[in-house]
Amino acid sequence: MTMSTDGNAAPTVAIETHGCKLNQADTLKLSRTFAEAGFRHVDTGEPVDVYVVNSCTVTHVADGKARHALRAARRRNPNATIVATGCYAQRSPEELRDLEEIDLVIGNAEKSTLVRQVVEWMGLPDDIRPIGDELKHTPASVSRTRAMVKIQEGCDQVCAYCIVPKVRGRERSIPVDQVVEEVACRVAEGYKEVVLTGTQLGTYGFEWPNTSLRGLIQSVLSETAAPRLRVSSLQPQEVDEDLLECWSDKRLCPHFHLPLQSGSDAVLKSMRRRYTSKEYADAIRLIRDRVPGASITADVIVGFPGETDEDFQRTYELCDSIEFADMHVFPYSIRPGTTGAHLSGQLLSDVKTLRVRRLLGLAQKQSLDFRRGVIGETRFVLWELNPVGEPDSDEGLRWSGLTEDYVRVAAAGETGLGNRITPVRLMSVDETGVLAELINLASH
């Protein structure tokens, strides 16, 4: 391999991340390991010595996106080491090895050895760090506003449509002290928000006595100075009054993502979900009662095998009654190796497309209604490092950020907002989200 760097300069690496927050957490860990090994991080569009695609495989569309990214990386960097990792690499390594653009295929099970395998493949010395080069734990190519911290890995639920148990393995929790230590490290590095992520957060700590998600959240809040803490997702059957007591601490963001998947009990049973439509609705009511003003988002799968017009209508009506802040709507995608791939009653793509379109229309309306409903209110926004717009001029400059209840906000005409939390008044809604007016520039 021909290095793009000269002399004693450090080799460069870029990591492109697809899919869920677990992959984002894995990428952050890979980034630090590459830095510790002496690599210099660059953006994905720059010339690079090593290009890593941390892939998703939740749908066939995700697979196609990964293949496209790997081929594009090779075209831009003909002499680089191209690495495929993540869930696609775990599910179908031989399929990826057949692509001539790829040098290394490293699944999730081997992710911890990825950097060492890259160093060996490139024929680099064991310690390639240039003398005097200071370790940078947080590379410039990784956003320093929100840190994904993995608290749990794997899944034992084995839903009929889902490939995650095969590519992530059995459920296992990260010990409380390790999570607290990592959160503290990320805060010390400058992160203003930490997102606790995993596949089944509600079962956290099942391996040990007197350990639970509630206890972990309380430990993180009491033992770290994290300005904001967010829980990435929960299952409806995991929501109870004891857990919701944690949200009395205002550092815990009042946003709940509860995958619904279907509003039909028959479809939920076929999917092997562990709740009914009534239990889902009850969990939503409990959240709204115990955490007033919380925003709630959901995932919905349309066109699961055997879904009738009546089943879809039940889903639509349940979503309509709940009034989500936002919904992610997906057409069912056959995943080889799952039970759903063998079920009868596979729907035609045209049927799925029509149903997706109808539910997306509802999702867009609800999202707009939710955002219009908060106009005039005050929120705290964590601004991203890079503004949306031209960096050379303050005129018309827009900074983008997230409120505590997960509303995307933009503000114009100010400088120096990156990676700060400031109060704003929500003023109006446009096609990019909510426009805000800064109340003051005091950091929080």
277-290 and 309-322 helices, crossing angle to 10°: 10
Share of the chain above pLDDT 90, in %: 79
CATH number for position 224: 3.30.750.210
**Which CA distances in Å does 298 have to 256, 325, 346, 432?**
9, 9, 24, 20
State residue 14's pLDDT score.
95
Where in the sequence is the domain holding 413, given as residue range(s)?
378-438
* 270 and 359 part of one domain: yes
Per residue in 5-51, pLDDT tens?
455 589 999 999 998 889 999 999 999 999 999 999 999 999 999 99
Domain count, the chain: 4
Tokens of 6: 């000269």
Query: What distance separates the 2 farthest-apart alpha carbons in the chain?
Result: 68
Per residue in 322-365, pLDDT tens?
999 999 999 999 988 899 999 999 999 999 999 999 999 999 99
Phi first, then psi, for residue 65 (nearest 5°) are -65, -40
* 157 and 192 part of one domain: yes
In a domain, 279, yes or no: no
Q: Between β-strands 40-41 and 255-257, what pairing exists: parallel, antiparallel or unpaired?
A: unpaired
Does the structure show a pLDDT above 80 at 444?
no
Least confident interval from 4-8, 228-232, 369-373, 430-434: 4-8
pTM summary value:
0.86
* 27 and 104 part of one domain: yes
In a domain, 129, yes or no: no
* 88 and 54 part of one domain: yes
In a domain, 78, yes or no: yes
Coil, helix or strand for 25?
helix
* 100 and 172 part of one domain: no
In a domain, 112, yes or no: yes
* 91 and 152 part of one domain: no
CA-CA distance, 115 to 118, in Å (whole number)? 5
Q: Which of 55, 15, 16, 56 is nearest to 35 (CA)?
A: 15
Last residue of a domain, one of 55, 88, 122: 122
In a domain, 301, yes or no: yes
CATH number for position 57: 3.40.50.12160
State residue 121's pLDDT score.
95
Per residue in 371-394, pLDDT tens?
999 999 999 999 986 655 544 444
Task: Give the residue with greater pLDDT, 415 vs 246.
Answer: 246
Average pLDDT in the chain? 90
The answer to whether 29 touches 19, Cβ cutoff 8 Å, is no
CA-CA distance, 66 to 291, in Å (whole number)? 39
